[in-house]
Structure 1
Amino acid sequence: MSKDLEEKQLHALEEAEKRLERIVFIGRTFDEYMRMFDLDEKTISGLSILDCPGGACSFTAVARKLGCEVLAADIAYYHDTENLYEKGIQDIVHAMEHVETEKERYIWTEFLSIEDLRAERNKALQDCVSDMRLHPERYIPVTLPSLPFQTEQFDMTLSAHFLFTYADKLDIQFHLGTLRELFRVTRAEVRIFPLVDQSGRIPEQVDKLVDFAHTVGWTAEIKTADYHFQKNADHMLIFRKNHHK
């Protein structure tokens, strides 16, 4: 191997490690998803579903066992599964430390304590990584706002803790570009949770995405979710294609 090629590979590895450091690999459990998105097993039975971004969530793993055709998509999946697992363990530790110092930002009915929350986050990570090891083809690396899927490939798309959550870092053009792409790959419904940023405020992007949806033939409904951990984060947005009521 030439010295130039070795240097290029080393540089690529260093860049990958830097990107991994910026990724927070934490997820929610299947049960949390069902309540966040107002779903039940009957509703999702037989559906083709995209979880984007999927992170370390266990929805794909569990829903697959129930007969759903689910794919998870996330920029994190460009990285090695074992590296992601180690990253996830560390991220849960850091997240718990953060929550401990910001307890007043949360509603302590979903979880009775930090340890209760830690156990749920660890469960999601373990279930997700176990499935990734067995079925890596279910976890698709993507760089939003672009998706490598066919038009209307999925009946439903779920998007948790990404759009709106990072409204201070992702501008309106990114939000619009991502929603446009989610619409393209989805046949019937796109559900987004929550509708607040990390400070608990509803960002201007919510109204702008609703307006955009109306211009391209989708309806929008804001619905209360049976899940409330972060203060003010108890609503989701359901977009429906007009011919799928």
Structure 2
Amino acid sequence: MSRDSKKMNLDLDRIVFIGRTYSEYLNMFDLQESELEGRVILDCPAGACSFTAEGSTRGYDIMAADIAYQFGPDELELKGIQDLQHAKARLEEAREEYIWDYYGTVEGHQKYREEALAHSSNHRRQFPEKYSYVEFPKLPFGDQSVDLTLSAHFLFMYADRLSEQFHKESLLELMRITREEIRIFPLVDLSSRRYEALNKLIELAESKGWAAEERKTDYCFQKGADHYLKLTNQA
């Protein structure tokens, strides 16, 4: 979770602290575990996702970053539990807006969310150095300090709240800190419309020496959210 600092104030009540699991990340980003080996990986913004926690236990070099990490793990876990209850109620009312092939039922979806929150919270307590407080569009990491950056459910998705300039600055920052590859999921906003300035951002990336591909993934929950952007540094 991150923000346009000119428009939003960091307030725990305004943060929705919900995350995805390691297995969901592999599916969302069409990742093979062999692609994680020997690489420094950043999940940003990571929220309550347990990709860092579960991946680290498998021996991969993964770190998480998010604006929410200004708050402690206990506070955020409690907030996450509350958010999961609200999210479950909303899903019950809007089942037809989602595709249930992956989760099966609302309860099945809830189980994934609960597992992600528990794993990420416990791991952050044990390994706080793996979790960095950051604010887009500026990130506190060195140039090309990360091999692979994964960014889910933030850029493009909140097009109604985050300006095109904010997206441009955020993408430039991700390219600055990433040595090899960036993957961003999904390519649609909350209304399942393709982000209208996506082509401009792809052109920007290509002008900086990055190859861009829109790739389909087998994972789909929100209708229309079944593609990710893969950027590969050609330098």
- TM-score bucket (shorter structure): over 0.9
**Structure 2 residue 35 is the aligned partner of structure 1 residue 43:** yes
Q: SS of 1:86's equivalent?
A: helix
Q: SS of 1:99's equivalent?
A: helix
Question: RMSD between aligned alpha carbons?
Answer: 1.1
Q: Deviations over 1:17-69 (max 9, x none)?
A: x6111111100000000011111111111210000000000100111122221
Tell me what 1:65 maps to: 57
Shift of 1:215: 1.3
**Structure 2 residue 29 is the aligned partner of structure 1 residue 26:** no
Question: Which amino acid in 2 is paired with 1:95?
Answer: A
Tell me what 2:216 maps to: 224
Give distance in 2, aligned partners of 1:158 and 1:59.
Answer: 10
Tell me what 2:6 maps to: none
The total of aligned residue pairs comes to 227
Question: Where in structure 2 are the equivalents of 1:39-118 lying within 5 Å?
Answer: 39-118=31-110
Contact kept, 8 Å, 1:24 with 1:91, in 2: the verdict is yes
5+ residue gaps, structure 1, are 1-15
Give distance in 2, aligned partners of 1:62 and 1:226.
Answer: 21
Question: Which amino acid in 1 is paired with 2:37?
Answer: S
Q: SS of 1:196's equivalent?
A: coil
Tell me what 2:202 maps to: 210
**Structure 2 residue 190 is the aligned partner of structure 1 residue 198:** yes
Q: Deviations over 1:178-216 (max 9, x none)?
A: 110000110010000001101111021211210111111
Give distance in 1, aligned partners of 2:80 and 2:177.
Answer: 28
**Structure 2 residue 148 is the aligned partner of structure 1 residue 139:** no
Give distance in 1, aligned partners of 2:188 and 2:93.
Answer: 20
Give the stretch that moved more between structures: 51-60 or 94-103. Answer: 94-103
Give distance in 1, aligned partners of 2:155 and 2:86.
Answer: 22
Q: Which has the higher helix share?
A: 1
Question: Which amino acid in 2 is paired with 1:181?
Answer: E
Question: Which amino acid in 2 is paired with 1:198?
Answer: L
Question: Which amino acid in 2 is paired with 1:58?
Answer: S
Question: Which amino acid in 2 is paired with 1:242?
Answer: Q
Q: SS of 2:230's equivalent?
A: strand
Tell me what 1:13 maps to: none
Tell me what 1:128 maps to: 120
Contact kept, 8 Å, 1:46 with 1:67, in 2: the verdict is no
Tell me what 1:167 maps to: 159
Percent of matched pairs sharing the same residue: 49
Shift of 1:86: 0.2
Q: SS of 2:11's equivalent?
A: helix
- Normalising by structure 1, we get a TM-score of 0.90
Match among 121, 146, 151 for residue 154 of structure 1:
146
Question: Which amino acid in 2 is paired with 1:214?
Answer: E
Write out the 4+ residue segments of structure 1 that deviate beyond 4 Å after TM superposition: none
Answer with 1 or 2: which has the greater Rg: 1
